[in-house]
Amino acid sequence: MAGIEVTALHKRYPDGTVAVEHVDLSIGDGELFVMLGPSGCGKTTTLRAIAGLERQTTGDIRIGDTLVNDLPPAERDIAMVFQFYALYPHLRTRDNLAFPLRAEGLPKAEVRERVDEAARLMRLGPLLDRRPRRLSGGEQQRVALARALVRRPRAFLMDEPLTNLDAELRADMRTEIKHLQGELGTTMVYVTHDQVEAMSLGHRIAILNKGRVEQIGTPLEVYDRPASLFCAAFIGSPPMNLIEVEVADGKLRSQGGLALTPPPGLPRDRCLVAGVRPEALEVTEPGAERSVPARVVSAEWLGDEIIYVVDHGGQRDVRVRMPPTVRFAADAPVGLRHTGGTPAVYDVSTEELVA
Amino acid sequence: MAVSVDEAMSTGPVRDHTPPARRFGGRGRSVLEIALLTVLAVVMLFPVLWMIETSIKENRDVYAIPAKFFDFTVTLDHFKDVFVASSGRSALSASFLNSVVVAGVSTVLATVLGVPAAWAYSRFAVKAKKDQLFFILSTRFMPPVVVVIPIFLMYRQVGLIDTKLGLILIYTAFNVPFTIWMMKGFVDEVPAEYEDAAMLDGYTRLQAFWRFTLPLLLPGIAATAVFALIFSWNEFVFAIFLTSSDDVRTAPPAIAGLIGGTTVDWGLVAAASVVFALPVLVFAYLVRKHLVAGVTLGAVRR
Ligand SMILES: Nc1ncnc2c1ncn2[C@@H]1O[C@H](COP(=O)(O)OP(=O)(O)OP(=O)(O)O)[C@@H](O)[C@H]1O
Ligand SMILES: [Mg+2]
């Protein structure tokens, strides 16, 4: 087992595409580290560089204490699970699992033992004698995971391993992977573009955008204080409301009159935007205490909650998360009240968190 | 959902009217179709049938006027003549053996060279890949006759005229581009992740190709090889220009050589042609599924 250090990684493909601009990652031993970002931001490329399947243009990669820049994938001692599972189609499950072990030249008895252990961990017993074609998507996924862990590698790399599964199975497998990682204590780098997956799995999350790291932090940090407007818009469903504000008599005031507590150390004379989570707002009866006037644009009933979209001071897309018991009709005049703490504040020109 | 239903509703009636064939009444149409197809089949197959008939007729019946379609005596003498002559083995049988050697070796060479090349083009970032592939393909654009004179002159310089090696080399040169193009389609269809996974499992890139990709490519290789084999087997222009002696000649010029004396032994020509056509038919039958895939470009996507 080992941590992974990625320093100033830059990858330019031969056709000129820059897939990774500049990435620094420091992944601890035994950590479940999630790389999250939109399609095309360079997640897979970064992961493949760590695996040694792609040679970085510049930058260093260290696994444990070894600099692995020039090591072929086979000598890096890591296992990878692909989005498309890449089980060998002509081999039965048992042989698919045994393959990496035979490559190492382990004695037969030990191969058997390890395959059985992995099969037990991933509950593959009845599937051992089937070929991949005769396995369901979820089963193939479990076999792929088992094949990764049978070798007891120093780290697991996962490239969107659950994308091809349906929602329910995905939730199950998520739990399973998290549990397994905890049990084995092996470092895991997990790539996804699904923020729910990232939030529920990761010890820490790195948010990537256009080949750069926008933010690294625990799920809570990333949710509470997104480091940039990009992160603010990316994390959370519905995402943070970004409300233009001005500093006036010790308060942050929006055009519609909403007053927020300013964080300390705000710079003067800049265009500012406050990030307010939908659950930090409240729709009230018009004229309720501390509320400002607003109007319901639309409402989405989601069963356990209602997302109100309200028009507040000309901004027509302010989203508010409310319990399903509170009902307001569309177009109804309502009040809007801030109930959360100090909001995160961003500079419009740099798009970065200022306080 | 609603949209798709609407679409289905609106295109439904239109679709019923579009195919022109449907305008004929069911019965009349099928009669006409069958009649046309029959005529076509007769026109296409008659020469083949006639060749087979001629090969088993006695000479007397071959030259009979009016031609005899059914009431002739069956004999296998012509087939015997194809293989044995009074002096022992016939020149024709030697030419068949030459054809087997030349077509076989050139196909193996083209496959051995072309498959790894196709793999490399499919998997690696090669400089100016598209241009290279187009160049490779372009060598197949021109008819072979165009280069026959220059090749003849070059071969005379290096002493490859009238050698089997010469034919093998030129057929290989023609089959390699074809093999690369066709095999690239098949390799593209095998996900690169198999090799990635194998490399992480401790294999080198070559081992990964050899142990995982190659087995999955075998059907494609078989189909491609049959195409190459058929090309080399049937090739006539180079064979007749570049070879002259009996112990080098392949079957196509040898059979053609039977025609042109004062008398033509049509029975022998027909029998030799039947023997010549058989291997190709057998191979084509074995890989018919892939031939169709190859012809419909199913194998060369992208
Ligand atoms: N082999 C390649 N050659 C050229 N460009 C490539 C290659 N592979 C990826 N790219 C480009 O590099 C960029 C990053 O690709 P990458 O696959 O790392 O994205 P990703 O974050 O994994 O996206 P996704 O979520 O869609 O998988 C993309 O713009 C992509 O088009
Ligand atoms: Mg990807």
List of long-range contacts for A322-328, beta carbons under 8 Å, 24+ apart: A322/A282, A322/A283, A326/A283, A328/A283, A328/A296, A328/A299
Lowest-confidence pick of A69-73, A169-173, B115-119: A169-173
Ligand 2 is a single-atom ion; what residues have CB below 5 A from it? Answer: A 44
pLDDT at residue B216 in the model: 86
Q: Note the pLDDT tens digit of each residue in B22-62.
A: 455 566 678 899 999 999 999 999 999 989 988 888 888 87
Question: Does residue A19 carry a pLDDT above 90?
Answer: yes
Residues B63 and B124 in one domain: no
Q: How far apart, in whole angstroms, are the C-alpha atoms of residue A1 and residue B226? A: 51
Looking from the CA of A51 toward its CB, the CA atoms found within 13 Å total: 28
Residue B124 in any domain: the answer is: yes
B130, B201, B207, B218: best to mutate for the A interface, most A CBs within 10 A: B201
Residues of chain B above pLDDT 90, percent = 43
Closest approach of B198 to chain A, Cα-based (Å): 8
Residues B66 and B87 in one domain: no
Residues of B whose CB is below 8 A from A73: 196, 199-200
Q: Note the pLDDT tens digit of each residue in A89-101.
A: 888 999 999 988 8
CA of A286 to the centre of ligand 1 (A): 50
pLDDT at residue A49 in the model: 96
The ligand that comes nearest to the alpha carbon of residue A9 is 1
pTM of the model: 0.79
Question: What is the average pLDDT value for chain B, to the nearest integer?
Answer: 83
Q: Note the pLDDT tens digit of each residue in A269-296.
A: 788 999 999 999 999 999 888 899 999 9
pLDDT at residue B26 in the model: 63
Domain count, chain B: 2
Identify which has the larger pLDDT, B4 or B170. Answer: B170
pLDDT at residue B228 in the model: 92
Identical fold between A4-232 and A238-347: no
Confidence of residue B3 (pLDDT cuts 50, 70, 90): very low
Range of the domain at B24: 19-78
Q: Indicate the CATH number of A4-232 among 3.40.50.300, 3.40.50.720, 1.10.10.10, 3.90.1150.10.
A: 3.40.50.300
Residues B257 and B161 in one domain: yes
DSSP character for A342? S
Residue B4 in any domain: the answer is: no
Phi, psi dihedral angles at B93 (to 5 degrees): -65, -35
With a Cβ cut-off of 6 Å, ligand 1 is lined by: A 13, 15, 17, 19, 37, 39-45, 193
Q: How far apart, in whole angstroms, are the C-alpha atoms of residue A66 and residue A80? A: 19
Residue with tokens 């009159």: A257
CATH of domain A238-347: 2.40.50.140
Residue B237 in any domain: the answer is: yes
Report yes or no: A103 at the B interface, CB cutoff 8 Å.
yes
The phi-psi region of residue A278 (left if phi > 0; otherwise alpha if psi is between -120 and 50; otherwise beta) is alpha
Using CB atoms, which residue from B125, B194, B216 is nearest to A86?
A: B194
Q: How far apart are the two ends of chain A, measured CA to CA in Å? A: 38
Residue with tokens 């990684």: A9
Residues B118 and B29 in one domain: no
Report yes or no: A99 at the B interface, CB cutoff 8 Å.
yes
pLDDT at residue B1 in the model: 35
> Which residue's CA lies nearest to atom 19 of ligand 1?
A40
In a mutational test of the pocket of ligand 1, which residue from A10, A44, A46, A194 has the highest number of ligand atoms less than 8 Å from its CB? A44
Residues B55 and B167 in one domain: no
Mean pLDDT of A252-270: 85
Find, among A68, A174, A89, A134, the residue nearest to B219 by Cα.
A89
Report yes or no: A161 at the B interface, CB cutoff 8 Å.
no
Residues B35 and B181 in one domain: no
Give the domain ranges of chain A: 4-232, 238-347
Residue B262 in any domain: the answer is: yes
Residues B115 and B250 in one domain: yes
The ligand that comes nearest to the alpha carbon of residue B124 is 1
pLDDT at residue B302 in the model: 33
- As for the ipTM of the complex, it is 0.81
Looking from the CA of B223 toward its CB, the CA atoms found within 13 Å total: 22
Q: Cβ contact (<8 Å) for A73 and B216?
A: no
Report yes or no: A91 at the B interface, CB cutoff 8 Å.
no
Quickly count: other Cβ atoms within 10 Å of residue A87's Cβ: 25
Q: Cβ contact (<8 Å) for A78 and B191?
A: no
Domain boundary among B45, B60, B78: B78
The enclosing domain of B175 has a CATH number of 1.10.3720.10
Residues B253 and B109 in one domain: yes
Domain boundary among B78, B110, B145: B78
Confidence of residue A52 (pLDDT cuts 50, 70, 90): very high
Helix (H/G/I), strand (E/B), else coil: B296: coil
Residues B41 and B142 in one domain: no
Residues B243 and B115 in one domain: yes
Quickly count: other Cβ atoms within 10 Å of residue A129's Cβ: 10
Residues B236 and B176 in one domain: yes
